[in-house]
Amino acid sequence: MQKDPLFILDKWIERYLNEKKTLNLSKNTLLNYKIVLDSLYQFFALKNEEESINSIYEIDRDFILEYLNSKGNISVNTKNLHITVIKSFFGYISEHNSENIDLTKNLKGLTAKSVKQESQTLSKEEEVILEGYLLQPFKKKTFLKLRNRLLVKLLYYTGVRASELLSISLEDIKLLTEEGVYKIYILGKGNKYRYVYIKEDLISDELEYIEDYFYNDPILSTKNQKHSIAVTQKGRVMHRAELYTMLDRLYKKLHIKKRGVHMLRHTFGKRMVQKNINLSTIKEMMGHENIQTTMIYARSDERSMIEAIWK
């Protein structure tokens, strides 16, 4: 007697996710995989009611395209996430099914393409405004003001990602006295580490204040733990949404109409290119896997091209 295809699909999903969990994928990655495969299961169930699908091996390219269309107006990145997970899942089934059926052959080359948009960055005028705020002395120092300014400075002057910033602790920051810079350990994408550097005088006041605050506050001075620079007054690490909210408030205060955390990373990359820093160096500083990613900052903007004409 042939088993219910829904039962079989459910078992394949369970086996696939268990393997990914065993391989120590991050919680966020596992959650994304589960969301996509649960969605695929629900779509398969609906199609099965309409057309009485006899086997999961009947799933082909047209089925996946119909599934993607059923998701409505989702972004290209989200669409490609679904495609990536499904390809990986079908690859797993193809490797382990006893009938030696290849479900991946009809999915080759399947990807959602988008028009490449230039990364948003701060203009030179907006950089001057932001730097003016970051470098001015505070009339009254408070923990939140100093913490926030430290976080923004690290985003702007080192180009770290939001996730990388939120994982930095005081113990990750070492002063190289002779060079006059702080060397900061960064745990980046794919658990790969690198170091970034920032001038000592840019963040020394903030670090000194936060260190004192840590060791004098009964909530934050817990022994044998790392001291996150993105700590809240309740002693937990900031959520990414809180970082976004903090930055949005700052942009509004400075009358900068652009938004986002990643914009500061793009601004850093653009600034390094404009200072004629070697692309390989910028690649290492920003933690890019491929130098082609770094090269997007080498594209001339309109102002540079106009200035070149006048020169």
pLDDT one digit per residue (tens) for the chain, 311 residues: 457 888 889 999 999 999 988 888 777 888 889 999 999 999 888 887 777 777 888 888 888 888 888 888 787 888 888 888 999 999 899 898 888 888 888 777 777 665 455 568 999 999 999 999 999 988 888 889 999 999 999 999 999 999 999 999 999 999 999 999 999 999 887 788 999 999 999 999 999 988 887 777 655 555 446 788 998 878 888 998 899 999 999 999 999 988 889 899 999 999 998 888 888 999 999 999 888 888 888 765 556 666 666 75
Radius of gyration of the chain (CA): 25
Residues in the chain: 311
pLDDT of 1 reads: 41
Contact between 11 and 96 (Cβ < 8 Å)? no
Q: Is 224 left (phi over 0), alpha (psi -120 to 50) or beta?
A: left
Burial 185-222, CB ≥16 within 10 A → b, else e: ebebeeeeeeebebeeebbeebbebbeebbeeeeebee
Contact between 240 and 162 (Cβ < 8 Å)? yes
Tokens 């170091």 appear where? 195
pLDDT of 311 reads: 57
- Residue 247 exposed, middle or buried by CB count within 10 Å (0-12, 13-18, 19+): buried
Confidence (pTM): 0.61
